[in-house]
């Protein structure tokens, strides 16, 4: 499939999805959001793709936010619909069932920060700057940011970012747990690739069920979440991957997982 504002390239089971509007710092206009939705739907349906690295084109930005030119003219009805559409697309990423690493180079602001939050792990370049400046525009986060940011960094830190609209640099993002690691700018993609391949060396069903247990479980009371975990644990005991993984350990050889 070809896209206007996205580049999608597959290498050895990993899809590299690049948001490609560098002249607008990869701002998310409606067309780009629709293309991200289509690309992730295709990735979900493709068994050959086992993980994703999501990044932005150019030196300056991951994504500098929703496209302010579109936001400026929206009616309340448009605004609500745009917010729901964006939330669904980011939910699709979070619920992909395959690991998604955000490679954050430069600015990740507003909808761009929210997009990074929907990914499972974030790798930032040393020049990354992240924030939710919507309040400076007289609006607020609309792509899940008011919910995912406090769940990731805690309520107090999230509210400081959400209410001041100030950016944090890469080291501060690392300190507060907003990103998982910080790497030199020229190593961003290589380090993101290496990280996702560490994950993909493991059983695909293990990854899928772990993502499900964490994503669903965090929204449940602890006892219910643990029951859901136990059910998934029981189910995973029926898989070929479980038989292969445990057998390979006992035979002192690397496992060959089939994802079944
Ligand atoms: N929506 C639409 N266009 C955007 C954009 C956005 N969120 N962010 C950047 N752009 C555009 C600029 O309008 C400019 O376009 P132009 O060359 O046609 O004028 C181009 O991208 C380059 O941005 P510019 O502002 O010139 O770069 P800079 O290095 O001076 O500043 C930022 C970088 C990120 C600080 C600045 O672009 C900015 O504040 N962007 C908006 C961030 C924001 O509020 N995001 C939340 C939106 S809800």
Q: pTM of this prediction?
A: 0.97
Rounded Cα distance, 106 and 114, in Å: 15
Quick check: is 114 catalytic?
yes
Average pLDDT over residues 196-211: 97
Check: CB of residue 134 under 8 Å from CB of residue 141: yes
- pLDDT of 44-91, one tens digit each? 999 999 999 999 999 999 999 999 999 999 999 999 999 999 999 999
Which candidate in 134, 166, 212, 251 is catalytic? 134
- Evaluate if residue 107 carries a pLDDT over 80: yes
- Evaluate if residue 2 carries a pLDDT over 90: no
How far away, in angstroms, is 164 Cα from ligand 1 center? 18
Does the beta carbon of 107 sit less than 6 angstroms from any atom of ligand 1?
yes
């Amino acid at each position: 499939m070809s896209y206007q504002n996205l580049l999608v390239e597959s290498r050895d089971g990993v899809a590299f999805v690049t948001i490609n509007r560098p002249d607008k710092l990869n701002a998310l206009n409606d067309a780009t959001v629709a293309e991200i939705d289509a690309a992730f739907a295709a990735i979900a349906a493709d068994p050959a793709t086992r993980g994703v690295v999501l990044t932005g084109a150019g030196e300056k930005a991951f994504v500098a936010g929703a496209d302010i030119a579109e936001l400026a003219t929206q009616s309340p009805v448009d605004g609500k619909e745009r917010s729901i559409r964006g939330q669904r697309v980011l939910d699709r990423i979070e619920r992909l069932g395959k690991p998604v690493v955000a490679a954050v180079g430069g600015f990740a602001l507003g909808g761009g920060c929210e997009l990074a939050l929907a990914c499972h792990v974030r790798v930032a370049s040393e020049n990354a700057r992240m924030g939710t400046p919507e309040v400076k525009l007289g609006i607020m986060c609309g792509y899940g940011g008011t919910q995912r940011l406090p769940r990731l960094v805690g309520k107090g830190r999230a509210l400081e970012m959400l209410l001041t609209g100030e950016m944090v640099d890469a080291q501060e993002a690392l300190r507060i747990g907003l990103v998982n690691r910080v790497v030199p700018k020229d190593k961003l993609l290589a380090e993101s690739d290496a990280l996702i391949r560490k994950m993909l060396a493991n059983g695909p069903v293990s990854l899928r069920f772990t993502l499900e247990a964490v994503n669903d479980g965090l929204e449940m009371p602890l006892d219910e979440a643990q029951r859901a975990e136990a059910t998934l644990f029981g189910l995973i005991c029926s898989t070929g991957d479980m038989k292969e993984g445990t057998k390979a350990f006992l035979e002192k050889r690397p496992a060959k997982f089939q994802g079944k």
